[in-house]
Amino acid sequence: MSAGHDTVERTAVVVEDDPDIRELLVTVLGQAGFTTHTAATGRDGVELVHRTDPLVTTLDVSLPDIDGFEVCRRIRAVSDTYVVMLTARSEEIDALMGLDAGADDYQTKPFRPRELRARIEALLRRPRVPVAGDASSRPATAAAPPGPAPDPVRPAPASSAQVADGLEVDADARRVRVDGVEVHLTRSEFDLLAALGDTPGRVLSKDRLVRVLWGDAYDTGTLVTDADRRSVEVHLANLRRKLGDSPTRPRWISTVRGVGYRLDGHG
């Protein structure tokens, strides 16, 4: 394991077997100030991440040797790099699999280079503190990347709080417990739960939750797309599954049809 992201140089890894897309990604990341290394297979990608300790990794799902989901799991075993999965698949189950494997974002092809760059920059402004016990967040010693202050959209609660019946969120340690048992969440899942917990009983729209995830990248006139809203839906579906919360008979997270989501329960 390398020392962490504490140097001035920003390093990225692109794992992509299509040479045209690979070159486009190198250009986009280069414009964002990254020194980029590339791999055309999953095994080479994992080795490259292990060797270079990148700040960001883009990962194609359909690779010639092993699929991107397995590659992501292997990357998570050795690195806390921000992973953006890129794929031509648009089904929700594929997005769920990617996020569950440890990806931080999931984008479908064809992607818009300017939006991809903005979303990567937004990722870099999110907290580097790993969710305790989560294999998708390593190591705890990794330094925060340089850049603007974290997203001001959702200030974290000042201390651990029982935000709903049997559901405890510790914002400082970024830990979640259900009936006393710790639940391991990804960064995105925790951020969404914390945002809902900050306003119990109040509905937060999908557009608002997109901004929770992406911060000021979406506070400067950027259009929130259907893909962004689907990403929130996927994260919420994964969050509910991990909490053991039924979407049809929710204990905590209720869907308000056509609007967004609300955290219920009794403190």
Of 124, 151, 171, which one is at a domain's C-terminal end? Answer: 124
Measured CA to CA, the distance from residue 38 to residue 260 in angstroms comes to 39
Residue 187 lies in a domain: yes
Query: Of 95, 124, 153, which residue constitutes the final position of a domain?
Result: 124
Parent domain of 255: 161-263
The answer to the question of residue 248 being in a domain is yes
For residues 152 and 130, what is the distance between their CA atoms, to the nearest angstrom? 19
Same domain, 86 and 167: no
Q: Number of structural domains, the chain?
A: 2
pLDDT tens track for 183-192: 988 888 888 9
Convert the pLDDT of each residue in 208-254 to its tens digit. Answer: 998 888 765 555 556 777 777 888 888 898 899 899 998 889 999 99
Highest mean pLDDT (candidates 48-57, 198-207, 218-227, 243-252):
48-57
Q: For residue 16, which of 157, 116, 166, 140 has the smallest C-alpha distance? A: 116
Q: Of 38, 46, 43, nearest to 21 (Cα)?
A: 38
* Rounded distance between C-alpha atoms, residue 29 and residue 266, angstroms: 46
Q: Which helix (H) or strand (E) holds 156?
A: none
Greatest mean pLDDT among 14-23, 82-91, 169-178 lies in 14-23
pLDDT at 156 over 90: no
- In-domain check, residue 155: no
Query: Pick the residue with more confidence: 229 or 88?
Result: 229
- Contact by Cβ (8 Å): 47, 57: no
User: Domain of 236: which CATH number?
Assistant: 1.10.10.10
Element (H, E) at 209: helix 206-214
Question: In terms of domains, do 192 and 105 share one?
Answer: no
Pair (167, 84) in one structural domain: no
pTM for the predicted model, two decimal places: 0.60
